Structure 1
Amino acid sequence: MTDGVEARRAGELIARLDLTNLNEICTEADVAALCEKAETPEGPVAAICIWPDFVGFARRELSTRIKVATVVNFPRGGDDVDATLAETRKAVSDGADEIDLVIAYERLADDPGFVEAQVRTIKASCGHAKLKTILETGRLFDEGAIRTACHAALSGGADFLKTSTGKVEVNATPASARILLEEIGRAGATVGFKPAGGIRTFEDADGYMRLAETICGLDYPTPERFRLGASSVLADILAVATGTERPGGLAGY
């Protein structure tokens, strides 16, 4: 790619970024800093993704053009639907625009119907908020299990398929992303896709968007249908967008 094309692609990636802080020691001050960072010199990111306790604060701090995403049933992906329902209703009441639900992935092998019902139940309580289902692909281990997770989430009415929590050893990979995108494509390419965790550079981020374009079509990865779950990768993408020196080291989730 030429520098001009890279800069344009970098700007497009910023508009598709879910800027994330899900650190256990996150504070309100950290969320305030994240909100400020979300308004970049190259335009706003798509959303910030934070713990449920900070949703109300973030919604007050942010421009309405930036979505507030939060996580439920996170990160373990348990099977207590009532507890997850309570989390979801509170988050939506506090102003969440998007709910990132960890499915009960450990139940998939024996009872995929439970996961489908779990997703459907949480979706029914999301109101205006979009439901992004986290499949935790790094814990599913084989292609068949990942496809089963996709089918359960899609059948339950998920608005997005998301690879990972970013809290396990293996998070987003091109191989798992391809499977999710193939299933989205078979379902009509109306459901969104979000790789999360391990996205460290502009090249990583752009690779996922190119994969989405290849499998689901060039017009598929709009900010409404394609997101990147990452945080400090923003510095690298901004450097590419502005043609400035890129930071050294790695960016984390």
Structure 2
Amino acid sequence: MTATTDATVAARALPLLDLTDLGEASTEAAVAALCRDALGGPVAAVCVWPRFVPACRQALGGSAVRIATVVNFPDGGEDVEATVAETRAALRDGAEEVDLVLPYHALMRGEEATARAMIEAVRAACGPACLKVILETGTLAEPAMIAAASRLALDSGADFIKTSTGKSPVSATPEAAAIMLAAIRDSGQPAGLKVSGGLRRVADAATYLALADRLMGPDWASPATMRLGASSLYGALKAAQAVAA
């Protein structure tokens, strides 16, 4: 892509970023730096471990940047009570968006009711907060399974369906994102897509934006309907803007 094209992609993609730090060695200092970057973006949200939500609330208070956190992460367990408690604690600490890992192993065993119960319980605990359901599409792998997980999450109250935790061998792929977008379109619900895991280059953002434009229409992608979950992508997008300036 040319510098001008890169800058155009960056202008569209930056406001969609969920600037993320879910590394095992994440620290308060790293999260503080993440929040500074978020304020300079501008980006849609930061996404951090629950223990860092209070620090984000202090750093981002009064800004438009939303605070997201993860629950039942990354393994997608089946303890509904524990996950609901984790959700409620995060919301009390200041989280505004909750990224829940679907009990995808249960779904792969054919135990749809187990997965549905988790989503519905967390949906109830979230109240008006945004609920994103992580499908872990790289592990589900089969298109029919990804489509079924997408429909289940949407039917159970997800505001967004999200590709991946970023912790599995295969993270986001355009093929999985296309299946998820089709499920959103066919549901008739005002739900969104979050693409997460492995996005590092401006070209990666361009791929998913083009996919959304093709399947959902050129005016569909906005922070209310599409998120890009990444940390290293931020630097690439800012650099693209700087080159074009």
| Range class of TM-score, shorter chain | over 0.9
SS at match of 1:20: strand
RMSD value, Cα = 1.5
Which residue does the alignment assign to 1:248?
none
Which residue does the alignment assign to 2:57?
59
SS at match of 1:39: helix
Task: Tell me, in whole angstroms, the C-alpha distance in 2 between the residues paired with 1:158 and 1:171.
Answer: 20
Which residue does the alignment assign to 2:168?
168
Structure 2 gap ranges (5+): none
Task: Tell me, in whole angstroms, the C-alpha distance in 1 between the residues paired with 2:141 and 2:239.
Answer: 35
- The share of aligned pairs that are identical, in percent, is 47
Write out aligned runs for 1:1-253 (5 A).
3-40=3-40, 43-62=41-60, 63-109=62-108, 110-188=110-188, 190-243=190-243
Counterpart of 1:111, as a letter, is: E
Give the number of the structure whose residues are more often helix, by fraction: 2
Contact 1:164 1:172 in 2 (8 A): yes
Counterpart of 2:44, as a letter, is: A
Structure 1 gap ranges (5+): 246-253
- CA 1:197–1:95 in structure 2 vs 1: closer, same or farther (change >3 Å)? same
SS at match of 1:44: coil
TM-score, scaled relative to structure 2? 0.95
Task: Tell me, in whole angstroms, the C-alpha distance in 2 between the residues paired with 1:67 and 1:39.
Answer: 10
SS at match of 1:26: coil
Aligned length: 243
Task: Tell me, in whole angstroms, the C-alpha distance in 2 between the residues paired with 1:2 and 1:53.
Answer: 41
Contact 2:134 2:165 in 1 (8 A): yes
SS at match of 2:212: helix
1:121-155 C-alpha deviation (Å, 9 max, x unpaired)? 10111123100000000111201111111111011
What displacement does 1:232 show?
1.1
Task: Tell me, in whole angstroms, the C-alpha distance in 2 between the residues paired with 1:181 and 1:242.
Answer: 32
Task: Tell me, in whole angstroms, the C-alpha distance in 2 between the residues paired with 1:216 and 1:244.
Answer: 28
What displacement does 1:116 show?
1.8
What displacement does 1:113 show?
2.3
Query: Which has the larger displacement, 221-230 or 110-119?
Result: 110-119
Contact 2:171 2:197 in 1 (8 A): yes
Task: Tell me, in whole angstroms, the C-alpha distance in 1 between the residues paired with 2:190 and 2:212.
Answer: 12
